[in-house]
Structure 1
């Protein structure tokens, strides 16, 4: 049994993900696959277009053997914490031999060289960084300049200026750096590989054929209001599950669906409580409240708060933390241990074999029946799970069809099993 781990969101599962799965098994020589997947809220601070069980079905029906959920306290986070939580879960399964991630670079050695510097932070690098920051450069620009100078002076040209600039400024490369840092932090034996991304860029908004980005697919769905135009550019099972979801809930989910809920929360949140929300640093609470008073929509609020210092994705994550009520103190407590359980969302017949083996070797409890988690009688586990449950309940408030059951779905929804 050779097992490859994939870190995913599948929003929705598309042909690029199918290629990633097949190529990952090939280059790692694996015959089993496990995907750790964000639940209902995602790394960039957005609700998924469809819920976590629907996305798990897409993945399982398209060839992934086992899908486990990344707890929301790690899913809706910066690249560093998202990556750490994902890697820690895959390592904790006890059966994963390798991780394969997509990157713009396609060169794991170069990405690893940068990860090494950023993890160890040698004194010379820290001094260069401090110097560039003192000259008024932004942190990302200072970090890039410091890396270039450190590589030139101390790495015997293992990394060129072009290498560093290309790697440090591309979203999947940045995630790759964080995956490698996380593997080193926990002393994992998992072997990392990367494959060069093909097709559209991550943020490409226009449909470009067979390998269109998830961003462009979502944009097309929301623009057209139906699935006809994406039918031929996504895997068959993705189209079927998207269609089933639309028929059941009447709409797909997006941030603006929470406009009224967010307005209510902000009306009832004082300055002190807002300051405690995760990612709200000193003074940002004032800007949020000022912009809230000047805007009636989430989109307007986000655009008002956003600056060079406060990026779009950071503001979006703060909005999601507000919705779910994740504050700085709570996350700091959770991060002392990392993820505390392995929640199963779906599996096929090979996934059953994987789970059987994992139950012998896993470092964390494996939860297949959500109702049974209370039997663990662990306060910390129960508390972390309570945020997943809350996130699910809030997620479904964003959908149109109120005739469908929307409360306590974590208790009523079993993992998807494809036999």
Structure 2
């Protein structure tokens, strides 16, 4: 059983994802696939435009065998922790032969070179880093300088691209876990990840989301997504009459920002002394969440980091909580969608791993580990808050995780 692992958000599942999936199975010579997918809140600190079950359906209907949810505590983190959480989950299954990820570079050897230097930090690297920092250079610039000296080549352009950064972090996580999973990278095809313009058959997820959130017209993106994905997007829109976005939480976030004191803000993941004061000051002056973010943002405080902080505030994710869960060796598997092959994979996981597998959500209450229960309850909280953002009569109830079963494709 040759199984390839994929780490995704599928926000939404589009033709570029389908291309990557098919090519991944080809280059890894895999017959089976497992996808670890973010739930309802994502790495950039935003809600997914459609819920996790809708996106998982699109993936399985497009050929993926098994979709597992990446725990929320990792889904809304920096590239380093996002990548580590996903690789940790795949590695814990003890059945994954390879992983395949996209990158702008497409040069696995070079990405590995960079990852190895950053993973093991040779004395040479540390000395160059220290020298640059002592000259007053900001950390990213100092790190690039140290890498250039250690590798005898300039890799600064590589580190400017978002998928290259994730690729390097995946490789670092494999190093850290001493994993036997074999990595493959596929050069990204078509539009740049951050492109805002629809470009036909292969468009970026950013441009597809922009079109949907501005025009709410699925016809505009029909050429850019597989038919299954289009159908599931249409079903979601017909049910809720909207797609989700951060602005939908404006009032909730304003309430939390204005009622949280500086110490409470400082306890959140990604907040440091000084930033809490800035957040508090700005949020007291403005009532629009985008205006607040733009007024907090500086060269030091990136926009996506600030968005993640808002999600951590929504979910009450503190540094102490994260450290407790992150430092635990325990993990769990939450099934979002599967086909017939996916059930074969689940049998292999049960045979080869001792991870807790959750297909029926209520069964998580029987799990003995206090840490795992708390992590799953954060996933549940994320789901309930996610649907509040849609603000329709159909999203008032809570406990969606209890009511919605994994999607099973039987043929």
TM over 0.5: yes
CA RMSD of aligned residues (A): 1.1
Task: Answer yes or no: is 1:286 the counterpart of 2:289.
Answer: no
Closer/same/farther in 2, CA of residues 255 and 130 from structure 1, 3 Å limit: same
Mapped partners of 2:124, 2:90: distance in 1: 34
Task: Indicate whether 1:11 and 2:7 are aligned.
Answer: no
1:188 aligns with 2:179: yes
Residue number in structure 2 paired with 1:39 = 39
Alignment match of 2:191 (pick from 195, 200, 205) = 200
C-alpha displacement of 1:404: 4.3
In structure 1, the partner of 2:319 is: 328
Offset of residue 338 of structure 1: 5.2
Q: Which of 306, 310, 316 is matched with 1:319 structurally?
A: 310
* Range with greater deviation from structure 2 (38-47 or 266-275): 266-275
Equivalenced residues, count: 410
> Is the contact between residue 88 and residue 338 of structure 1 (CA under 8 Å) also seen in structure 2?
no
**Alpha-carbon distance between aligned partners in 2 of 1:322 and 1:223, rounded to the nearest angstrom:** 26
- C-alpha separation between the residues in 2 aligned to 1:20 and 1:101? 8
Deviations 1:56-88 (A, max 9, x none): 000000110000000000000000100000001
Q: Which runs of 5+ in 2 are unaligned?
A: none
Corresponding residue for residue 63 of structure 1: 63
Deviation at 1:249, TM superposition (A): 1.3
* Counterpart secondary structure, 1:296: coil
2:230 is the alignment partner of 1:239: yes
Distance 2:89 2:368 in 1: 20
Q: Is 2:388–2:395's contact at 8 Å kept on the other side of the alignment?
A: no
Aligned to 2:167: 176
CA displacement 1:267-319 (0-9 Å, x = unmatched): 22111111111111111110001110121111011111111011011001001
Q: Within 2, Cα distance between the matches of 1:52 and 1:151?
A: 41
Other-structure match for 1:346:
337
Contact persistence 1:105–1:166 (CA under 8 A): no
- Contact residue 193 and residue 206 of structure 2 kept, 8 A: yes
1:361-400 alignment runs, 5 A limit = 361-400=352-391
d(CA) in 2 for partners of 1:167, 1:406: 46
Shift of 1:403: 3.0
What secondary structure is seen at the aligned counterpart in 1 of 2:224?
coil
Q: Which runs of 5+ in 1 are unaligned?
A: 153-159
Conserved? CA contact 1:88–1:339, under 8 Å:
no
Cα deviations across residues 321-369 of structure 1 (Å, max 9, x unaligned)?
A: 0001000000011111256211110000111111111111124111111
